[in-house]
Amino acid sequence: MLDDERDAYLAHVTVERGLSTHTVSAYRRDLARYCRFLQARDRSSVAQVTRADVAAFAEAIGTGSDGARALAPASASRTVVAVRGWHRFAVAEGWAVDDVSVEVKPRAIPQRLPKAISTDAVARILESAGGDEGAALRDRALLELVYASGARISEATGLDVDDVRLGRAEAAVLLRGKGRKERVVPIGGYAADALDAYLVRSRGALAQAGRGTPALFLNTRGGRLSRQSAWAILKVAAERAGVEDVSPHTLRHSFATHLLAGGADVRVVQELLGHASVTTTQIYTAVTQDALREVYVAAHPRAR
């Protein structure tokens, strides 16, 4: 019964809440581990689970005492979120009387400043992805779009042709973030030109290998470009540019940091990034404060 109740919850977060495939897959793994833990404690349904069970599991995933790998704080926190969501759902569905997970909190995650690279490094990466035909035009358009809009890689690869509006004065993209929440983000001339070149001179040839898809970015078989392939495109471009330690989120982080350093309001950047809370965006202000302090120490006569 535990497995059936878990699957019902996963169906709920997929259909009703619209969580991404990646998030649902992570929840599936997390809750499978939770079910094994509960079954080892002779629990056959969510109604039999106690507060002590939930607390013991939260401890086990951090230490590995349940026989599985100990999780890093971020993964452990996500697992607890999945468990709490399942128990809330169980109460709402009438499977359980009380939410026994309510007092178990996700582990605190040490704050890490986002990694951003300089505007010069970004320019070198974008230039390295360039070319006059085929996949090179696609690669340049993809990376220009990600940096111009602050899109997550998954958001960029999820775009359809109709989600893009070109034209110097009104160029923009319709991005779908977490929970399928939509936002329209303007893009600059460089990205608009790169997208136009790709659509006019490259996408049609790539599409001929497929069966027809509305996807904006296509692979060589004419299907939608995968997130993994997009990551590989960024990695190759960064290596060509001589820029080290570039992650899939680097261009997104750089987008936010460069906007704030240029004087953009944090709430505007919040909207552009698709963050539900401005608190999430404010982590980027610490990066720009460091830059301001460096300038201050170097320029002020009594800074030292």
| Catalytically annotated residues | 152, 178, 249, 252, 275, 284
CA distance 214 to 194: 19
The Cα 113–Cα 230 span in angstroms is 24
Helices within the chain (DSSP H only): 2-15, 21-40, 51-63, 73-92, 119-128, 134-149, 153-157, 189-201, 203-207, 227-241, 250-261, 266-273, 278-281, 283-299
Q: Which neighbouring-strand residues pair with 224?
A: 218
Pairing of strands 164-165, 172-176: antiparallel
Buried b (16+ CB within 10 A) or exposed e, 183-203: bebebeeebbbbbbbbbeebb
The dihedral built from the CA positions of residue 80, 83, 85 and 87, taken in this order, carries a sign that is negative
How far is the C-alpha of 136 from the C-alpha of 11, rounded, in Å?
39
Give residue 206's Cα distance to chain centre. 27
Q: Which residues in 232-253 are b (16+ Cβ under 10 Å) and which e?
A: ebbeebbeebebeebebebbbb
Using a 10 angstrom Cβ sphere, with 0-12 exposed, 13-18 middle and 19 or more buried, the burial of residue 256 is: buried
